[in-house]
Amino acid sequence: MRLHVVDHPLVAHKLTTLRNRETDSPTFRRLADELVTLLAYEATRGVRVVEHDISTPVASAKGVKLTQPKPLVVPILRAGLGMLEGMTRLIPTAEVGFLGMIRNEETLEASTYANRLPDDLTGRQVYVLDPMLATGGTLAVAIQYLMERGADDVTAICLLGAPEGVEHVRRTVGEDASVQIVLAGMDPGLNDLGYIVPGLGDAGDRLYGVV
């Protein structure tokens, strides 16, 4: 498993505004969207392509195109939905599947309440979207689920992570798994309620309001 924390001043600038409690919901949504596109550029370095010959108006040329089947993008509802457009802007032809997951705020255990994914993911390259990687319970369950169905390369794109969450995912999927985590920032740890500190609060609530 590989971890990549993107080190770029524009990412750091947008993340700082995103964290600010004064940032309102419309601005939060816009920044989350912009950040994902920046992260996705890094996260898709390994996207699979094949050689593709074309003719320009002047001559023939060798290029590449995305392989079939196309990459699958999986936002984890609810908060991951705020990252979907930023991702599909970069890979418009990607297919999209959905996982609805919620963390029990007392036990911090993740459970799945919705699944709209192909049953067979054999050989698929998958990009999972979720802004927060806290205890790692949610992401570990999601990645395991995708790999059990045959996905052979999974990249998780998150805005903020905590070291204990990253280690939990590493232990669950195994050191040798073809799994990559891409973060805009890694915070020092979690508080007693399992929130990332300093973090940005509840990403779902900040995107969509308290429900």
Ligand X SMILES: O=c1cc[nH]c(=O)[nH]1
> Long-range contacts for 99-108 (Cβ within 8 Å, ≥24 apart)?
99/74, 99/75, 99/142, 99/145, 100/76, 101/76, 101/77, 101/138, 101/141, 101/142, 103/134, 103/135, 103/137, 103/138, 103/194, 105/193, 105/194, 108/135, 108/137, 108/194
Residues labelled catalytic:
103, 107, 202, 205
Residues, the chain: 211
Q: Between residue 100 and residue 129, which ones bind ligand PRP under the rule CB under 6 A? A: 101-103, 108, 110
Torsion of CA 16, 17, 18, 21, to 10 degrees: 100
Q: Site for ligand PRP (CB under 6 A): how many residues?
A: 23
What does 102 interact with, of ligand X, Mg ion, ligand PRP, none (CB < 5 to 8 A by kind)?
Answer: ligand PRP
What does 71 interact with, of ligand X, ligand PRP, Mg ion, none (CB < 5 to 8 A by kind)?
Answer: none
The contact set with ligand X (CB under 6 A) reads 79, 132, 134, 195-196, 199, 202-204
Contact present, 136 and 165 (Cβ < 8 Å): yes
Nearest residue (CB) to ligand X, 71 versus 199: 199
134 is in an annotated binding site: yes
- CB of 104: closest distance to ligand PRP in angstroms? 8
The contact set with Mg ion (CB under 5 A) reads 202, 204
Per CB under 6 A, 184 contacts ligand PRP: no
- CB of 141: closest distance to Mg ion in angstroms? 16
- CB of 171: closest distance to ligand X in angstroms? 19
102 is in an annotated binding site: no
Per CB under 6 A, 200 contacts ligand PRP: no
For 203, other C-beta atoms within 10 Å of its C-beta total: 25
Per CB under 6 A, 185 contacts ligand PRP: no
174 is in an annotated binding site: no
- What is the Cα–Cα distance from 137 to 166, expressed in whole angstroms? 10
161 is in an annotated binding site: no
- What is the Cα–Cα distance from 48 to 185, expressed in whole angstroms? 26
Contact present, 15 and 35 (Cβ < 8 Å): yes
Q: Between residue 51 and residue 90, which ones bind ligand PRP under the rule CB under 6 A? A: 76, 78-79
CA distances (Å), 156 to each of 47, 137, 209, in order? 13, 13, 24
- CB of 195: closest distance to ligand X in angstroms? 4
131 is in an annotated binding site: yes
Binding positions for ligand PRP, rule: CB under 6 A: 76, 78-79, 101-103, 108, 110, 130-139, 165, 194, 202-204
